[in-house]
Amino acid sequence: MTANTEVARSGGRLWQGLTLQQKQVVWAWGFLAVPILFYGLIRFYPTVEAFVISTTNWNLMNSPSFVGLANFRRLMADPVFWQVFRNTFLYLIIGTPLSLVLAFTIAYHLDRVRFMHGFIRALYFLPFLTTATAMAWVWRWFYQPVPIGLINDVISSFGFSQQPFLRSTTQALPAVLAPAIWAGLGFQVVIFLAGLRAIPTTYYEAARIDGVSDFAILRKITLPLLKPTIIFLVVFSSIGFLRIFDQVYNMTSGDPGGPLNATKPLVLMIYQTAFSSFDMGYAAAQTVVLFLVLLCVSLLQLRLLRDR
Amino acid sequence: MTGTTLTHRFAPGRVFVWLLLLAGGLLMLTPLLFMFSTSLKDSADIYDLRLIPAAPTLDNYKTVLSDGRFLRWFWNSLAIATIVTLSNVFFDSLVGYTLAKFQFRGRYLVFLAILSTLMIPTEMLVIPWYVMAKNFGWLDSYWGIMFPGMMTAFGTFLMKQFFETVPNDFLEAARVDGLNEFAIFWRIALPLVTPALSALAIFTFLSNWTAFIWPLIVTTSKELYTLPVGLASFAVESQIQWELIMTGAALATIPTLAVFLLLQRYIVRGVVLAGLKG
């Protein structure tokens, strides 16, 4: 009892002896202790581990054996990987421009609307709040043949022939992409609206007084001043489309990746290699490729923002 | 208020644009409307593709909700998203506050280190996380689903930006009054950044409610599925019962829609804050 008090008192004396500055440092590191442990253990260690695993041959059961760059060579020679790589880039190069042009067009006009502005914005925004899995079921149902599927029902009521959508090697990828664009559009519209609101009114007023046409205002004032917003959305949605998974997995489950891997993106390939085949080294090598692709996109963003 | 000042005189062109915007918005809503419509239809009626059900019934909801699995998944998602959100709100703001308001050597390094984790895609970490969870016996457990997301660099960055706007005078005054540093953070600084906190909370909750790949990987028993993983598991069932699936999808969507209708203003502002800061 006395000893404890003694220790506490000397500890207290030690604490009292510190300057205000030193006390702040102790508090700061005290606050950071658990987070540093977390980031070290849950983010940094696994990052290093992913690179290490990518150089091994490992099925989780036996101990991993070092194989150097063999997994990467295998990847380069794997026709499925190139198919997957192609699909992933198709998602990116169709999805990003299409969704951005749509979102900008909507936001540009919605910005001028006062009557029921909030309501119309909410209509576009609601899909962003849905669960991809739940919506995958809705869209799958839409794509079914008659008499179940809505889209085919509409198409055939106009006298056109039914479309196979998810069952076709050419239509499956756009059919999976549509709900991904649909779900993300509201987010982009809201961000564009915020960007448009940030442009000072005086610019527009000056331009109108000078008699500049609407199109010239859009091209000379709105778009240049919107550049940071545009760059942010391009990078944000590029990363989103490069990592597409939920929609694809859920819309093509039963035949994951669609007919002849027509819709399979890189993340689905990673998932299957790791958690269906338990080929951990090979899967880790695929994650390294994904990391490098995403890193390039992020560095490009930094570059573009610095040029501003 | 930009762009609107000169445009509110009546013009037929404007009305046309307005109608187009409304039509587009309603088109965006079509999947949701048909989902709710089908969830109210009898199994015999699902071939009737009219939006308003001829004989609306709540039987599908009774069926889905009386099947204990669905409620269990719903509860799992709710509990996990709530706990992860609380953890993020606490730790992200504690770290953000420390990095914004304390002077100490290594501060910038810690900030850069945390920020650098934004560059690392989750997909790269899932394999090491899986191995870790396996070794620690965390597979197929609540903790296993939750542990990777307890703190995020994005949230920390967001909170740091906001704590920087809090004047130091307030904190100094509290210090003079003899409050300890944690009390200053908790009772003085935190209430001053409530808008940022609600943005962070909404974002974290939403992304955990809809999280898919990691819960899919880490869970194997049906009792531990989250709602999205549970819905995905319907795919392996031989006979797809569309009306029941639409009901399940509707039930997964209703909570987020309800929260949105209640907090619309905060959610839109939160998305803008988080989007533009991120």
The answer to whether B250 touches A168, Cβ cutoff 8 Å, is no
- What residues of A are in contact with residue B148 (Cβ under 8 Å)? 42
pLDDT in the model for residue A8: 57
- Choice between A6 and B111, residue whose per-residue pLDDT is larger: B111
Planar angle of CA A31, A36, A39, nearest 5 degrees: 135
> How much is the mean pLDDT over chain B?
88
Q: Which residue of B has its CA nearest to A279?
A: B127
Any chain A CB within 8 A of the CB of B231?
yes
Taking an 8 Å cut-off on Cβ atoms, the answer to whether A232 and B276 are in contact is yes
Encoded amino acid at B140, one letter: D
| Banded pLDDT at A9 (limits 50, 70, 90) | low
- What residues of A are in contact with residue B145 (Cβ under 8 Å)? none
Give residue-wise pLDDT tens across range B32-62: 999 999 999 887 777 777 788 888 889 889 9
Rg of the Cα atoms in chain A = 27
Out of A27-31, A113-117, A180-184, A257-261, least confident range = A257-261
The mean pLDDT of A234-260, rounded to a whole number, is: 87
- Residue B108 predicted with pLDDT over 50: yes
- What residues of A are in contact with residue B44 (Cβ under 8 Å)? none
Planar angle of CA A85, A87, A93, nearest 5 degrees: 100
Give residue-wise pLDDT tens across range A209-218: 888 888 888 8
The mean pLDDT of B9-21, rounded to a whole number, is: 82
The mean pLDDT of A71-90, rounded to a whole number, is: 94
- What residues of B are in contact with residue A290 (Cβ under 8 Å)? 121, 123-124
- Residue A6 predicted with pLDDT over 80: no
Smallest CA-to-CA distance from B83 within B17, B6, B3, B144 is with: B144
| Banded pLDDT at A184 (limits 50, 70, 90) | very high
- What residues of A are in contact with residue B110 (Cβ under 8 Å)? 32, 36
**Of B1, B232, B272, Cβ closest to residue A191:** B272
Q: For an interface test with A, which of B123, B176, B238 has the most A Cβ atoms less than 10 Å from its Cβ?
A: B123
Q: Is A29 left (phi over 0), alpha (psi -120 to 50) or beta?
A: alpha
- Residue B277 predicted with pLDDT over 70: no
Longest CA–CA separation in chain B, Å: 73
The answer to whether B196 touches B89, Cβ cutoff 8 Å, is no
Helix A227-242 and helix A172-197: axis angle, to 10°?
Answer: 150
Residue A258 makes CB contacts below 8 A (sequence gap 6+) with: A166, A169, A172, A173, A176, A248, A252, A264
Out of A82-91, A248-257, B153-162, B253-262, least confident range = A248-257
- Residue B147 predicted with pLDDT over 90: yes
B67 Cα to chain A: minimum distance (Å)? 18
| Banded pLDDT at B238 (limits 50, 70, 90) | low
**Alpha-carbon gap, residue B6 to B4, rounded angstroms:** 6
**Of B120, B126, B253, Cβ closest to residue A131:** B253
Out of A21-25, A45-49, B48-52, B181-185, least confident range = B48-52
Any chain A CB within 8 A of the CB of B9?
no
Residue A65: phi and psi, rounded to 5, are: -115, 135
Out of B41-50, B77-86, B91-100, B212-221, least confident range = B41-50
Give residue-wise pLDDT tens across range B203-216: 899 889 999 999 99
**Alpha-carbon gap, residue A213 to A199, rounded angstroms:** 18
The mean pLDDT of A65-91, rounded to a whole number, is: 94
| Banded pLDDT at B3 (limits 50, 70, 90) | very low
Q: What is the pTM of this model?
A: 0.89
Can you tell me the ipTM of this complex?
0.88
- Residue A281 predicted with pLDDT over 50: yes
The mean pLDDT of B224-249, rounded to a whole number, is: 85
**Alpha-carbon gap, residue A164 to B195, rounded angstroms:** 48
The mean pLDDT of A266-270, rounded to a whole number, is: 95
Any chain A CB within 8 A of the CB of B35?
yes
The mean pLDDT of B22-30, rounded to a whole number, is: 93
pLDDT in the model for residue B67: 84
Taking an 8 Å cut-off on Cβ atoms, the answer to whether A287 and B26 are in contact is no
Q: For an interface test with B, which of A15, A19, A42, A156 has the most B Cβ atoms less than 10 Å from its Cβ?
A: A42
- Residue B168 predicted with pLDDT over 70: yes
CB pairs under 8 A between A and B: 284
- What residues of B are in contact with residue A194 (Cβ under 8 Å)? 272, 275-276
> A137 is written with which tokens?
């079921």
Smallest CA-to-CA distance from B28 within A187, A242, A233 is with: A187
B253 Cα to chain A: minimum distance (Å)? 6
The mean pLDDT of A166-179, rounded to a whole number, is: 90
Q: Which residue of A has its CA nearest to B268?
A: A190
- Residue B227 predicted with pLDDT over 70: yes
- Residue A151 predicted with pLDDT over 80: yes
B43 Cα to chain A: minimum distance (Å)? 12
Planar angle of CA B50, B54, B60, nearest 5 degrees: 95
Q: How many CB atoms lie within 10 A of CB B41?
A: 24
Judged by CB atoms within 8 Å, which residues 151-190 of B form the interface with A?
A: 151, 153, 156, 181-182, 185
**Of A141, A250, A275, Cβ closest to residue B232:** A250
> What is the dihedral angle through the alpha carbons of A145, A147, A153, A156, rounded to the nearest 10 degrees?
80
pLDDT in the model for residue A77: 95
- Choice between A222 and A301, residue whose per-residue pLDDT is larger: A222
**Alpha-carbon gap, residue A14 to A172, rounded angstroms:** 70
A176 Cα to chain B: minimum distance (Å)? 14
- Residue B138 predicted with pLDDT over 50: yes
Structure-token match 């930006």, residue found: B161
pLDDT in the model for residue B278: 42
pLDDT in the model for residue B6: 47
pLDDT in the model for residue A23: 86
